[in-house]
Structure 1
Amino acid sequence: MNLNTHCQGLPAKIAWVWGLWWLLAGAVWSLDSTEKSIADAIVAGQAKALELLETSVNINSGTMNFAGVKATGELFQQQFADLGFDTQWIDGTPFERAGHLVASHGTKGPKILLIGHLDTVFPIDSPFQQYELLPDNRARGPGITDMKGGNVVMLLALQSLLQNGVLDQLQVRVVLAGDEERRGKPYSLANAALIEAAQWADVALGFEDGDSDPRTAVIARRSAGSWTLTIAAGSGHSSQIFREDVGNGAIFEAARILDGWREALSDEPNLTFNPGLILGGTAVERDRVRAMGSAAGKDNVIAGHATVSGGIRALSQLQLDAAIATMQEIASESGPNAQASFEFFPAYPPMAPTDGNRRLLAMFDSASRDLGHGSVTAVDPRRAGAADISFAAEYVDMALDGLGLMGEGGHTVDEIADLSTLVSQTQRAAVVLYRLSQQQ
């Protein structure tokens, strides 16, 4: 299959995208000799990969344990260096985190961004600290699926390409963040390395575990953001409530706004918003950092103050913008003697389900079928939370996530990996990388 004939005379970027579309649309794949050799190399390398997984899991790298995150970064940094990658540790002091590991390899071929992270949700004083082998080819450990297992899948895939002499047919940049579980701020600094790599890349692959089902992969992730509703209203003796000149009080006004949002937006597909904390009374104090607060009031006094905080998730920026506009409009329709203010705080942007992402999923599905691992479909966006790839997806032609080690119980002391998925997940990713390299 010669794509050069079909892409002659086109600008490089356009030729690459058009050529890959032609490749995906017209090809009927089966494993060639190189792909079979890649698959065999992964089987041969799984024992050492499992040793690396155990070693990494046994290093506590809770996000705020900077020494542990950096130690985990140094462990993987050496692994990438052994594969011939140029590596760089980006100090996280400017964004109040440990930092990020960036590794690069190759000067020709499609530009591929591989995304992972080094940190976990388990702090240094957590009782959950060690890798434990379980029956039925499973293992328990902090961060074993989220996402030290994904980092190992990534490395083993690259190693198999190197062993078969095809790694040089790709330009690869790896970003392993040190703050995925608790983002550093300001975001402009915390995300700079990832966004720069995404602007450089053609394709982004994320090695999170998705919804922990090897029959699925992620072409879309919803955004993550928060909001605050603050209300000031007239107060006075409760016997006078509902008079036009007195009003309904701050708590009733909060209820009106929240129910208005529910009626207007609750049926919108893939949009969710949730009031997580509400405080109301004659006096209200909220601690934003610790997500808690206090309120005081009496049964016979109209509440003069209320504050509500919560989160919101949307599938696209357009959907998010429309929802925020609706929430703002409903909040601004204040009742008598009341005034509401609404603030939105963006965090993770949405990863929209683009045609490019669907084509990349089709390629992943084809590789999985050819390897004998079955079909792969898209995860329901309601089952896929925000992740690092959310910051990268808008800059690349194609993005796919959920390619890491599978299991269950993420973010809990029952985080368990299905070790049988190490080989299958790695083979799928490696064959996709190889096929991307062959479009040139």
Structure 2
Amino acid sequence: MKRYLEEHRDEMLQLLEKLVNIDSGSYDKEGVNQVGYLLRDIYQQLGFHVLKVEQSDHGNHFIISKNANPSQATILILAHMDTVFEKGTAGTRPFKVEGNRAYGPGVIDMKASLVSVIYAVKALLHSQNDACAKVEILLTSDEEIGSPTSRALIEQHAIGKKFALVMEPARKNGAIVSARRGKGQYTLEVIGKAAHSGIEPEKGRSAIEELAYKIIQLYEITDEEEGIHVNVGLIEGGTSVNTVSDHATAQIDVRFRTQEQAQEIKEQMAAIIASTEVDGTKVKLEGDINRPPMEKTEQTEKLLRIIKRVGDELDLFIKDTETGGGSDASFTSALSIPTVDGLGPVGGRAHRESEYLELDSFVPRTLLLAHVIKELATY
């Protein structure tokens, strides 16, 4: 398989260039579908069954399996086709190679991974290994915006699987991901009473003042040692500098390590909004936890040991790490499916103009994936 991948490295790069040069932002339905249909055709040429899951507002999802009956699969591979970049980005900043790095919108998050999955499968087929029969691949279209339409599909297809492999990129130091913090998003709204701040300020009830108290209280939930973090990222309020504000809002992001912490955060936030500091104001909190945490369980540890042993056999030293960012790995992990993330190639600066792929990781990480699939198929 190593020889096969080395011989097809240029072909891998050509496919990567083609994918990167297609705009596929999460809200670009046409672009995401263009990526999806390109990948569908490749898998069908390899003899895979591809089921399209039609979406009305976002790109379509694709379920891919070697057998017509995917229930025989024991390994779920998750990868997303969408990026964070606006339509037109690929035209102004197309794929390019400079030295040992490739650049372009979505090159590492996660179009290189889409190529890796295909060529891991090709390498297995070339070696006449039947491990692909144990694999189900789910390509989704909306991971970058929280997986609103794909979450239920992921959870549905995770049922009965022994392992979940998630193709987010490896960390910059090559580490794979064994734990991710959960995530919640909330909107806090405060209603006050407007008044002229010079003529009759006593008649006003400042929504901004009340919001300021609430923001301080929210930040007090943060516990860095325990992995709990609250961030008020956006605030808005008022109509003019000489008017006591009658309305103010805050957008809140919360992160946590465990499901128990999620419940504690909810209770603390409920206590914060149960009363007001500024008489006559009213507060309302909307939102919820939208990604559970990916917790490093004993099952995860067993899967990690398998992957690290395979890495050792390939002269790849694999270490694992925790990260605060979210991914679809949280959904399979929450269902107690042994899950490891960050199995894509190595790169960095995802979501930025300088996003890059380390080219010398492309073949080794694809080879690692192929051998991990081969090993897990025996369980």
TM-score by length of 1: 0.78
Pairing 1:296–2:228 present:
no
SS class of match (1:48): helix
Pairing 1:418–2:377 present:
no
Which of 100, 106, 116 is the matching residue for 2:61? Answer: 100
- Choose 141-150 or 165-174, whichever is displaced more: 165-174
Which of 169, 175, 184 is the matching residue for 1:209? Answer: 169
Equivalence for 2:119:
156
Equivalence for 1:232:
191
Equivalence for 1:42:
5
Give me the whole-angstrom Cα distance separating, in 2, the residues matched to 1:241 and 1:320. 43
Equivalence for 1:381:
323
AA in 1 matched with 2:58: R
Q: How many residues align?
A: 375
SS class of match (1:265): coil
Pairing 1:249–2:206 present:
yes
Equivalence for 2:272:
330
Equivalence for 2:177:
218
AA in 1 matched with 2:154: L
SS class of match (1:181): helix
Q: 1:323 Cα deviation (Å)?
A: 0.8
Distance 1:405 1:138, change over 3 A: same
Give me the whole-angstrom Cα distance separating, in 2, the residues matched to 1:253 and 1:268. 29
Distance 1:83 1:395, change over 3 A: farther
Distance 1:110 1:358, change over 3 A: farther
Give me the whole-angstrom Cα distance separating, in 2, the residues matched to 1:264 and 1:57. 41
Task: Note if contact 1:241-1:248 (Cα within 8 Å) is conserved in structure 2.
Answer: no
Pairing 1:196–2:160 present:
no
Equivalence for 1:365:
308
Pairing 1:265–2:222 present:
yes
Give me the whole-angstrom Cα distance separating, in 2, the residues matched to 1:48 and 1:87. 23
Q: 1:242 Cα deviation (Å)?
A: 11
Give me the whole-angstrom Cα distance separating, in 1, the residues matched to 2:53 and 2:160. 18
Identify unmatched segments of 5+ residues in structure 2: none
SS class of match (1:397): coil
Equivalence for 1:319:
261
- Render the CA deviation track for 1:316-370: whole Å, top value 9, x for unaligned: 2221221121012022132233332222233333222222122212221121122
Give me the whole-angstrom Cα distance separating, in 2, the residues matched to 1:266 and 1:234. 34
Distance 1:168 1:417, change over 3 A: closer
Pairing 1:123–2:86 present:
yes
AA in 1 matched with 2:88: D
Give me the whole-angstrom Cα distance separating, in 2, the residues matched to 1:152 and 1:123. 22
Distance 1:266 1:238, change over 3 A: farther
SS class of match (1:311): strand
- Choose 81-90 or 340-349, whichever is displaced more: 340-349
AA in 2 matched with 1:205: L
Give me the whole-angstrom Cα distance separating, in 2, the residues matched to 1:333 and 1:131. 54
Give me the whole-angstrom Cα distance separating, in 2, the residues matched to 1:261 and 1:211. 31
Task: Note if contact 1:128-1:413 (Cα within 8 Å) is conserved in structure 2.
Answer: no
Give me the whole-angstrom Cα distance separating, in 2, the residues matched to 1:129 and 1:242. 53
Task: Note if contact 2:219-2:231 (Cα within 8 Å) is conserved in structure 1.
Answer: no
Give me the whole-angstrom Cα distance separating, in 2, the residues matched to 1:262 and 1:241. 33
Give me the whole-angstrom Cα distance separating, in 2, the residues matched to 1:223 and 1:128. 35
Equivalence for 1:275:
232
Equivalence for 2:344:
404
Give me the whole-angstrom Cα distance separating, in 1, the residues matched to 2:260 and 2:354. 37
Identify unmatched segments of 5+ residues in structure 1: 1-37, 282-294
Distance 1:129 1:72, change over 3 A: farther
SS class of match (2:143): coil
Give me the whole-angstrom Cα distance separating, in 2, the residues matched to 1:344 and 1:175. 28
Q: 1:416 Cα deviation (Å)?
A: 1.6
Give me the whole-angstrom Cα distance separating, in 2, the residues matched to 1:109 and 1:304. 59
Task: Note if contact 1:270-1:381 (Cα within 8 Å) is conserved in structure 2.
Answer: no
SS class of match (1:160): helix
Q: 1:305 Cα deviation (Å)?
A: 3.1
Q: 1:218 Cα deviation (Å)?
A: 0.9
AA in 2 matched with 1:359: K
Equivalent residue runs for 1:12-161 within 5 Å: 38-93=1-56, 96-106=57-67, 111-126=74-89, 127-135=91-99, 137-161=100-124
SS class of match (2:82): coil
Which of 273, 284, 297 is the matching residue for 1:341? Answer: 284
Give me the whole-angstrom Cα distance separating, in 2, the residues matched to 1:266 and 1:233. 31
AA in 2 matched with 1:296: S
Pairing 1:177–2:140 present:
yes
Q: What percent identity do the matched residue pairs reach? A: 27
Q: 1:200 Cα deviation (Å)?
A: 3.7
Give me the whole-angstrom Cα distance separating, in 2, the residues matched to 1:340 and 1:51. 54
What is the RMSD computed on CA atoms of the aligned residues?
2.7
Give me the whole-angstrom Cα distance separating, in 1, the residues matched to 2:117 and 2:282. 53
Pairing 1:433–2:373 present:
yes
- Render the CA deviation track for 1:380-435: whole Å, top value 9, x for unaligned: 323xx112222332235310111112212221222221111012111221221111
